[in-house]
Amino acid sequence: FKTVAKGTQSLDVHGLVRFRNSLMQALNLPIEVFGDDVRCDYVRFDFDGNGSLDVNEVYQFVKFSLWEYIKTVGDGTLKVDVPHKSLSEAGYSITRELGKGSQAKVMLCVDNDGKERCVKCYRKGAMTIGGINELKEEFEAMRFLGCRSIAQTFEVFQDSSFFYMVNEVYHGGDFATLRTRATEQQVAMTEDWWTNVFKQCLRALEHMHQQAMMHCDIKE
């Protein structure tokens, strides 16, 4: 980076092309790692929108390009272990059902240490065509994004009927019920309170964008 930047703290799009070519030569990487659409990547990794990429933004560009390339080589499957064990064998006991959709139901469980966990149960016969690979990608992404602003994902496993993904549990509800729940608990919903609530959401999105990931399904 320093060699290409030549004393500056960032790269323009032409500098990114030179950096890419230099890195490929130094590491003997094929052109497929970064592809030909450097201008699109330049915009994608310009997280602060200032029209140039600093060293962290270029680092994310390299990391995610390598990550995506690794997933395309070999047999094309993610190297995520999905062991065979039942909920009880994994140490979880079901408390109640939290919700369900077309592919999965969500259960509130307690682990062997007495900690509550949110367990997504995907019925194998009802999963989309992406199946286990999509589940592995979700698990990999959630583990990668782990921070205090985003619910943690702890493990994934399977039995003969279901795939299970174990997540951190939140009891706060969503924005559709937020005002009602806050009123019931006599919370003063001042402008500062609302600001803090939305700031938490935006901090989580900011963290995702800093890792070159988009949410793509933001809702209440």
Strands 53-54 and 10-11: antiparallel
- Please tell me the predicted confidence (pLDDT) of residue 38: 86
**CB contact set of 99 (below 8 Å; sequence gap of 6+):** 105, 106
- Please tell me the predicted confidence (pLDDT) of residue 130: 62
**pLDDT (tens digit, 0 to 9) for every residue of the chain, 220 residues total?**
999 999 899 999 999 999 999 999 999 999 889 987 888 889 988 988 899 999 989 998 998 888 788 877 765 555 678 999 999 999 999 999 998 877 789 999 999 999 999 999 998 887 775 677 788 888 888 887 878 888 889 999 999 999 999 999 988 888 888 999 999 999 999 999 999 999 999 999 888 887 777 787 787 7
Contact of 138 with 165, CB cutoff 8 Å: yes
Contact of 121 with 49, CB cutoff 8 Å: no
Residue with tokens 């059902």: 97
- Please tell me the predicted confidence (pLDDT) of residue 126: 77
Q: Give every strand in the sheet of 162-167, ordered side by side.
A: 93-100, 104-110, 116-123, 162-167, 153-158
Residue 151: both structure tokens together: 């619910």
Pick from 73, 65, 128, 117: nearest CA to 91: 117
- Please tell me the predicted confidence (pLDDT) of residue 135: 84
Residue 95: both structure tokens together: 């408390």
